[in-house]
Amino acid sequence: MAATRPWRSRCWAGDPYVECLSLRAIVYNWLGRFREGLLFVEKLSELLRGPAADSDISSPAADRIWTCWVLGDVERARQFSSEALRVAERFGADHSIVYALAACGVASCLALRWEEADGFFERARQRIATTGAGGEWGSVIDGHWAVARAGMGDRERSLALARSAVEHARANGVPLVTAIDGIHRARVLRVIGGPQYQHELEAQVAEAFELFLRADMKSWIPLILLERAGLARLRGDAEARRLFAEMGVTGWDDYARSIEAS
C-alpha cells in the first residue's frame, strides 16, 4: 500500500507523485479527455483536504484552475483558486502566492466579476514588482487581466495588456502560451477594439487556431472558434452559427449566446 500511496506518509511541494497528478490532470483536460483529467483533479483535491493539509502544495492546487477554465466551470474555479490562495498565504512562498492570486483572477474572469479579477491581478503584479518572484506568470496574468479590463470598459489598458501578453509569450518561444494569450487578445480586440481592429483580430485568431491545431489541444479549440465566430459577426457574414455548432463545452454557452446576440 505504501508503494502505491506515497502521500500517506509524506507529501510536499515538489513531491513527484503530486507533480505527476497535476501534470496529468492538465494534459488530459487540455487534450479534451475530461473524464480522465477530472479523476486526477479529484485526487489532488483529496490530497489538499486530507493527507497534505499541512503541506505546501499550493502550486498543484492552483493548477486545477486550467481544468475549470477549459470547462467553463465557475463554481469549482472559485473554490479551487480560493483553496490554493489560502495554502499559499499560509506557507508564504512569494512565487506560490503570485500563482494563486493569478488563479483567483482567472476564476473571477470566468464568473464575469471584472473588478474582483482586476484586484487579484493587481495584487499579483504588485508582489512580482516587490519581491521579484513569480514573474514567469506575467504573460498569463496580463492576458486574463486584459479581458477583465475590457469588461470594465478600459479600452486602452485592455488593448495594451493583451498586446504585451502575446508579445511576451512569443519572445519566450512558448507556442502554447502564445496561443492561449492569443485567445484573450482576440476577445479583447473583438469586444472593445471594434471594426477598426478587424484585420488584427483576424490575424490573431488565425495564429492561435493554427497553434492549437498543431498541438492537438482539443479543449482549447472551441474557445478560439468562439472568437472566430465573433469575428464572423463583426464582418457581418453567416459563419457564426456553423461555428457555434462545432463547440462541445457547455460552460461557455452563455458567452457564446452573448456573441450571437451582439
Taking the chain, what is the end-to-end CA distance rounded to the nearest angstrom? 57
15 or 99: whose pLDDT is higher? 99
pLDDT score of 43: 84
Asked if residue 237 has pLDDT above 60, the reply is no
Q: Encode the chain in three state secondary structure.
A: CCCCCHHHCCCCCCCHHHHHHHHHHHHHHHCCCHHHHHHHHHHHHHHHHCCCCCCCCHHHHHHCHHHHHHHCCHHHHHHHHHHHHHHHHHHCCHHHHHHHHHHHHHHHHHCCCHHHHHHHHHHHHHHHHHHCCCHHHHHHHHHHHHHHHHHCCCHHHHHHHHHHHHHHHHHCCCHHHHHHHHHHHHHHHHHHHCHHHHHHHHHHHHHHHHHHHHHCCCCCHHHHHHHHHHHHHHHCCCHHHHHHCCCCCHHHHHHHHHHHHC
Asked if residue 240 has pLDDT above 60, the reply is no
This prediction has a pTM of: 0.83
Per-residue pLDDT tens digits for 158-216: 999 999 999 999 998 888 899 999 999 999 998 888 788 889 999 999 999 999 989 88
Which segment, 116-125, 165-174, 197-206, 251-260, is predicted with the most confidence on average?
116-125
Residues 190 and 92 in one domain: no
The span from the CA of 112 to the CA of 253, in Å, is 14
Residue 242 buriedness (CB in 10 A; 0-12 / 13-18 / 19+): exposed
Closest CA to 41 of 3, 12, 71, 2: 71
pLDDT score of 47: 78
Cα 79–Cα 82–Cα 87 angle in degrees, nearest 5: 125
pLDDT score of 216: 84
Q: What is the mean pLDDT of residues 58-86?
A: 90
pLDDT score of 198: 87
Is residue 57 one of the residues assigned to a domain? Answer: yes
pLDDT score of 7: 31
Instruction: Quickly state the pLDDT bin for 44 (edges 50, 70, 90).
Output: confident
Number of domains in the chain: 2
Closest CA to 147 of 178, 117, 177: 117
pLDDT score of 249: 56
Q: Which domain holds residue 121?
A: 15-133
Measure CA 190 to chain center. 19
Instruction: Quickly state the pLDDT bin for 245 (edges 50, 70, 90).
Output: low
The span from the CA of 134 to the CA of 146, in Å, is 19
pLDDT score of 116: 98
pLDDT score of 3: 35
Which segment, 20-34, 178-192, 213-227, is predicted with the most confidence on average?
178-192
Asked if residue 259 has pLDDT above 80, the reply is no
Is residue 37 one of the residues assigned to a domain? Answer: yes
Residues 129 and 153 in one domain: no
Instruction: Quickly state the pLDDT bin for 5 (edges 50, 70, 90).
Output: very low
pLDDT score of 236: 54
Last residue of a domain, one of 133, 158, 189: 133
Residues 124 and 47 in one domain: yes
Residues 117 and 161 in one domain: no
Long-range contacts of 128-135 (CB under 8 A, 24+ apart): 128/98, 131/94, 133/93, 133/94, 133/95, 133/98, 134/94, 134/95, 134/97, 134/98, 134/99
pLDDT score of 51: 63
Last residue of a domain, one of 98, 133, 168: 133
CATH number for the domain harbouring residue 97: 1.25.40.10
Residues 209 and 153 in one domain: yes
2 or 34: whose pLDDT is higher? 34
- Cα dihedral 117/120/123/129 (nearest 10): -70
